[in-house]
Amino acid sequence: MIRPDPDGRDVVELCDVCGLLVAEDEAYLSVVADSSATATEGGELMDGERLLTACSWEHLEYLVLAYEQRPFVWEELWAAKMLDALRQYGPRLTTVQLAAASGLTPAQLDHARTWHTHHRLLPTAPEQEDGQNRAS
Ligand SMILES: [Zn+2]
């Protein structure tokens, strides 16, 4: 049953698998380890935890198994925390300020920057009408 929140809006969740709208009190929930998740995005969760929402036990099980297969990479978590701190306190901080804002050590920040540099998605050059990449 979908119930209204104090402002009269229906409280619903989205299934993380199929996108089906589920009433908040009928959602299937779990928490898993995920090095791409920070507490900032997860509300009450700790860094490295992700709340999963599903429409059924089957979809929840699918999600849990998918996250169990995903490696937990500390450098990924540190990079996410570094970016959170820059968004919240930046955009321009010294390394000392960034360490204080993120709660990371200078060594963890070094690993985070290296990980971020190697894993961020670089923009690709738009293709021309003949399908050739302008950068090539
Ligand atoms: Zn679903």
Question: And the tokens for 87?
Answer: 């968004």
Looking at the structure, tell me whether residues 63 and 7 fall in a common domain: yes
Q: How many angstroms separate the alpha carbon of residue 13 from the centre of ligand 1?
A: 10
Q: Per-residue DSSP letters for 57-102?
A: HHHHHHHHHHHHHSPP-HHHHHHHHHHHHHHHH-SS--HHHHHHHH
Q: What is the pTM of this model?
A: 0.71
Q: How many angstroms separate the alpha carbon of residue 28 from the centre of ligand 1?
A: 9
Q: Give the Cα separation of 33 and 23 in Å (integer).
A: 25
Q: Convert the pLDDT of each residue in 90-134 to its tens digit.
A: 788 998 999 999 999 999 999 999 999 888 754 444 555 555 544
Looking at the structure, tell me whether residues 52 and 94 fall in a common domain: no
Residue type, 136: S
**Which residue range forms the structural domain that includes residue 18?**
3-69
Looking at the structure, tell me whether residues 32 and 83 fall in a common domain: no
Q: How many angstroms separate the alpha carbon of residue 17 from the centre of ligand 1?
A: 5
Neighbours of ion ligand 1 (CB under 5 A): 15, 17-18, 20, 55, 59
Q: How many angstroms separate the alpha carbon of residue 51 from the centre of ligand 1?
A: 15
Residue 12 in domain:
yes
Residue 111 in domain:
yes
